[in-house]
Amino acid sequence: MAQFASPSHRAAQSDLSISVSPLGLVELSDEEFEVHGPRLNRYAHNWAFYLGHHWGYKREAGESLLTFNYTKALSDFITNFTFGRGVKFKTPKTTEAIVPGLLQRVWETDNNKERVLWSMGQVGGVTGDCFVKVAYEDPWVDPAGRLHPGRVRILPLNPAFCFPEFHPHDRSRLLRFKLKYRFWGTAPDGTRQVFTYTEIMTDEVIEEFINDERLGEPRPNTLGQIPVVHIANIPVEGSPWGLSDINDITNLNREYNEKATEVSDIINYHAAPVTVITGAKANQLEKGPKKVWGGLPKDANVFNLDMTTNLQGPLTFLEMVKQAMHEMTGVPAGALGEKQPISNTSGVALAITYQPLMNRAQMKHTQYGDGLERINEIVLLTLAVKEPHTFVFNPYTESHLKPGQLAQLDPHDPITYRTTADFPPPLPTDILIKLNELQSKMALGLESKKGALRELGEEFPDERMAEIYEELREDIMSQGALDLLRTQIQSTIMMALGIDPNAEDGGEDGGGGDVASAGGPGVTHATGASTATGQTGGGGDGAMPGAGSAMPSVAIPPDPHELLNQLVTLAHGTKLAQHRNPSKSETH
């Protein structure tokens, strides 16, 4: 294994122009190192352990140097437990028609929501601080001529590259922010060299530098605030910086590796034991399998050193250190893949088992939830400046307006930028139990259909309600078209033969019946809708109470002629001229 000196030792012995982070180069001035040096050393130490660099020396070839990277395993488990089920955003009722769609576009189309959340959780969990920058990428045309629309980027930053200046009396407010890092680039003469990029942001202006040379003139900050959000992973009173999830286990992980290596040395030592010879010369004896030694002096003695060490004590100590790492992080010992018996443990019992981890996740949800709300505020402010047309209701992309909802957002109204981050429960839930609970509440009139959709994890219940209504409407129209076609066929038979097709079976419909739908019985028909058999479709057995019509306030077109035209079109189709490209065989 390659030698990896202690990151803290490297930084302390540096000339302030070396790397203090395994993930990149940072060139520091004396003032920056004095203010931010301890923080950067802590980042380097934590990243080294997360990446598996646990040893500050190397051994001779063939000697064990074991590394059990519990630091990374526990950190990733906490991150996945906290952000694995994503996050949903709620808005005030007045902005529900516009803002949710904008946030969905930015997080899921302009960015990869899952990847951004994982990056935030990973960086915050390892370093203790998470910095996120919001930037706008202008529309551009690639060399192939394709137009790429503008998008709002959400960029998690490496905290080792961030040098913020907080308000002396309000640590949540940034007065000045410097982003500084080094990168490889191509010089004008074609050689590869390292450049230093620096971006300095205030509420008024933004400046950029390459190797201390300004890139153009300072440009005004059109947002009026620094588009960077800082999130402390675990808050520390009186300090703007946070603590990492692995802060208490790096030393334990080092101790575990050292003791495991010592146990390995004991086993290796006795796997090839030392042969002790007394009263004879070793050069006269040939060592190896199937060898016979004879002619030894009568006082000679030959034997192998036996292992009299009891390994139970060291193994018990290793188990104690491992258990301590689980207790420090709150992760149960069986969460990392230990074989467990199959059981039907209830959700409450599972929550009690994971209570320490639930407490940690709740604290992180509080910290990151507030940060995500501030990120959304900057995102909406960026759209207000760069794409003001998105603040107007678009009936082609959004659901219909409801009473109390705004058709146009006011960029000067603070409520426009107000959102709430809602994290789903991290533990799995039984969907059947949840459905039965919601069905009972709806039967008692204690829950609405929209509320039930929210409880089931639907982020946009209005759109789902509109989708359900549209499906019910299509099912009714399809059934009506079949009824119309059946009636016309029966009339034709009556006119041709003078016989009523239904006369033989007593006037009952011989070929009717409703058409089955994926919605299930009692779901595909609105309450009171008549069918060819004279039955109504709202009283079937499988419908949830109150689920007869998804949107009873919206009805089928009232014009009889328009409705008849739609039914005829569905029954017989349109008779339009068709055009297709002839094949080569048809052209000869």
Cα distances from 104 to residues 161, 420, 542, in angstroms, run 29, 14, 33
d(CA 329, CA 358): 11
CB count in 10 Å sphere of residue 385:
13
- The residues facing 420 across adjacent strands are 90
Nearest CA to 488 among 480, 476, 559, 534? 480
Nearest CA to 7 among 47, 44, 56, 54? 44
Beta-strand ranges (E) seen in 111-191 are 129-137, 140-141, 147-148, 151-157, 162-167, 170-186
- DSSP code for 105: I
CB count in 10 Å sphere of residue 201:
22
Phi, psi of 188 (to 5 degrees): -55, -30
CB count in 10 Å sphere of residue 477:
16
Cα distances from 450 to residues 51, 453, 459, 555, in angstroms, run 46, 5, 11, 19
CB count in 10 Å sphere of residue 165:
13
Tokens of 108: 């899921």
**pLDDT at 8 (0 to 100):** 40
Nearest CA to 81 among 424, 485, 489? 424
DSSP string covering 239-301: BS----TTTTTHHHHHHHHHHHHHHHHHHHHHHSPPEEEESS-GGGS--STT-------TT-E
**pLDDT at 536 (0 to 100):** 42
pLDDT along the chain (588 residues), means of 10: 41 36 54 80 91 86 87 94 92 91 93 95 95 94 92 94 90 90 86 90 94 89 94 90 93 93 83 72 68 72 71 89 92 76 65 85 94 96 94 80 88 94 82 82 86 78 81 88 83 74 55 47 44 42 42 48 68 56 53
Judged by DSSP in three states, 355 sits in helix
Nearest CA to 253 among 41, 59, 50, 10? 50
CA–centroid distance for 521 within its chain: 37
First to last CA, the chain: 73
Cβ(78)–Cβ(331) below 8 Å: yes
Residue carrying the six token digits 């030393």: 251
What number of CA atoms fall less than 13 Å from residue 362's CA on the CB side? Answer: 8
d(CA 445, CA 121): 40
Tokens of 284: 């006269």
CB count in 10 Å sphere of residue 352:
11
Tokens of 268: 């290796």
d(CA 75, CA 69): 10
Judged by DSSP in three states, 338 sits in coil
The dihedral over CA atoms of 317, 323, 325, 326, expressed in degrees to the nearest 10, equals 170
Tokens of 588: 């000869």
pTM to 2 decimal places: 0.72
CB count in 10 Å sphere of residue 120:
25
Cβ(131)–Cβ(156) below 8 Å: yes
CA–centroid distance for 45 within its chain: 26
Cα R_g (the chain), whole angstroms: 36
DSSP string covering 302-319: EEEPP----THHHHHHHH
CB count in 10 Å sphere of residue 136:
18
**pLDDT at 494 (0 to 100):** 79
Cβ(63)–Cβ(399) below 8 Å: no
Cβ neighbours for 380, distance < 8 A, ≥ 6 positions apart: 99, 102, 103, 416, 417
